[in-house]
Chains A and B, each alone.
Chain A
Amino acid sequence: MPALVVLLAMNVFPLVFNIYLSFTNADLSGGAARAIGTHNYAVVFSDARYADPITTTALFVLLSVSIELVLGYVLALALRAHIPGKSALLTVLLIPMMLCPVVLSLFWNLILNGHYGILNQLLGAFGLPQPQWLTDDRLEFVSILLVDVWMWTPFMMLVSLAGLNAIPRYIYEAAEIDRASRWMVFRTITLPMSAPLIGLAVLLRATDALKQFDLVLAITGTNDETTQTLSARIYQVVFRNYKVGLGSAYGVVILVAVIAVATIFVRYIDGLNRRQGKAQA
């Protein structure tokens, strides 16, 4: 199986090597690396400023995934009925998530610019305040979140829609005969029956959001205190300060988180498939 060989060489080896490096003081210029035990991890977890990227990343994952989920689900509910031209409409709505994140977020810089950006001009036209999206410390994080929500809400919408469409019609007909209220139908049929796919979407998005790097680099740069995610921190530490060992330690932190979410994801799919298999049998 050549495919497995490629995967082992390109994925597993770097992983193991990464863990080894995290216990050394290796640097990018290639000098001899020396084992320094857990020193790098002590740095990652002790200094308050060093731990910041962990908080930032966690907050980013939590906020982006939940906002996208709620928006996407509401959109899916609205798009559920028969609407003329629905397939074309859906395709257009899905385009942002297919395009290159870093390229589009670079362009968002022009939209968000405090002086000549179109967003502030729009806000101004409605007499609303025009904040400095890209330079105000409190708003930089919000700006990145905004772009991420713009890009990935369609994903949540797409998966939610699949979840909703999978609910058989006859269940609703039965509910109608029982004269269940709209809210009752939503709470006891729609929500629980579309939940499995939504869970899957949340897990997929969470692993993705954990890696967040592109948007940070494009919008605020990787050395910004309030928006530095773990990936951005690694970039800064390894490629700007050349501290490979410390960077690898951050890498391991991110990997542990990603592997945890990915494991849940894999179990989840396995369970989902088994349940589907049973339903079909």
Chain B
Amino acid sequence: MNLVRALVIVPYFVLATLPLGWLALTSLKTYDDTISTHARFVPWTSPGSDRTSPRFEATTAAYRSLSKPVAGTPRDFYHYLGNSALVGLLSTLAAVSLGTLCAYGFSRFDLPGSKEWLFFILSTRFLPPLAVVVPVVVMYRWFALENTHLGLILLYTSFNLSLAVWLMKGFIEEIPRAFEEAALVDGYTRAQAFLRVIIPQASTGMAVTAVFCLISAWNEFGFAMTLNNYDAKTVPVYFAGLQGNIEGVPWPQIAGGMVLFVAPIVLFTVLVRNHLLKGVTFGTIKQ
């Protein structure tokens, strides 16, 4: 049985991690090495002795060239990374603050139709970007929000709210009501009890929620692509635009940029590893 187990896990592990490993290797190559018909997979200090050698000379040239715009793009990679960070952080901040308040309301007060409202909130998450983007484009045109950071921040806040509300509801429900009740008896107002009792108790939950909101804003593509042709372009849109570059796809630079772009997410994934199930199922699975 153990053998069967290993036969399932080991090949899958290799296949699953290979593309990411290849991404890391590609970022250390020169352009010619990336499109060699003899795979070069051994980073070395000197180039291979002949064409068929698996060795290639590792170089950080791709990373260094990221600060220069690639042919056909007006700005360098870091400009777009900055856009991604700005939009991601601000929308996360907004979604987590609004979501925490909203979740507190739902978990502590018996509101009429609260279950229906909660499910409505959840269902907004399922809307396909491309199916709703057209009216959003028209709407943004009225308010001059097209091609702005604010436009994307608003949109990401709204689509992350459902996640924030559901996750935070789970975290807040884990805090015993007795804590607040004690505070209320001691003469705290509801708002004070929320700020001094609930917020500190829920801070881990808020951090986890923030990570998931940040990841989905960071990775979002449909809206970012259709709403921004220029000013607030995020990294995914920038990379998509490099496809079909006239001078050939600059693979080493792309791979280098991708490594920098996904590295924080890998780090965050490791940090929230114990909450991944909650995060990807909107807290609908209770353990």
* Chain A residues within 8 Å of B, Cβ to Cβ: 1-4, 6-7, 9-11, 13-15, 17-18, 21, 28, 30, 71, 74-75, 77-79, 81, 83, 87, 89-104, 106-111, 113, 115-116, 118, 121-122, 150, 153-155, 158-159, 162, 166, 197, 200-201, 204, 207, 210-211, 213-214, 217-218, 230-232, 234-235, 238-239, 244, 247-248, 250-252, 254-255, 258-259, 261-263, 265-266, 269-270, 272-273, 276
Contacts and interface: CB of A to CB of B under 8 A. Distances in A.
Nearest to A108: B19
A150 B19 contact: yes
A4 B128 contact: no
B contact residues, range: 35 or more
Contacts, number: 263
Contacts of A99: 219, 262, 265-266
Interface string B115-142: 1010111111011111111111111010
A235 B224 CA distance: 13
B144 interface: no
Contacts of A261: 126
B22 A118 contact: yes
Given A150-B16, A251-B130, A103 B277 contact: no
Contacts of B265: 98-100
Contacts of B37: 115-116, 121
A79 B121 CA distance: 34
A211 B226 CA distance: 15
B286 interface: yes
B197 interface: no
Given A102-B239, A107-B254, A14 B132 contact: yes
A6 B219 contact: no
A107 B5 contact: no
Interface stretch (B69-77, B153-161, B179-187, B201-209): B153-161
Nearest to A201: B281
Contact of A18 (B36, B122, B134, B251): B134
Contact of A159 (B8, B101, B273, B281): B281
A153 B254 CA distance: 26
Contact of A17 (B128, B135, B286): B135
B195 interface: no
15 contacts: A6-B161, A10-B157, A17-B138, A18-B135, A71-B12, A98-B268, A98-B276, A100-B262, A103-B235, A121-B38, A158-B276, A238-B133, A252-B131, A254-B131, A258-B131
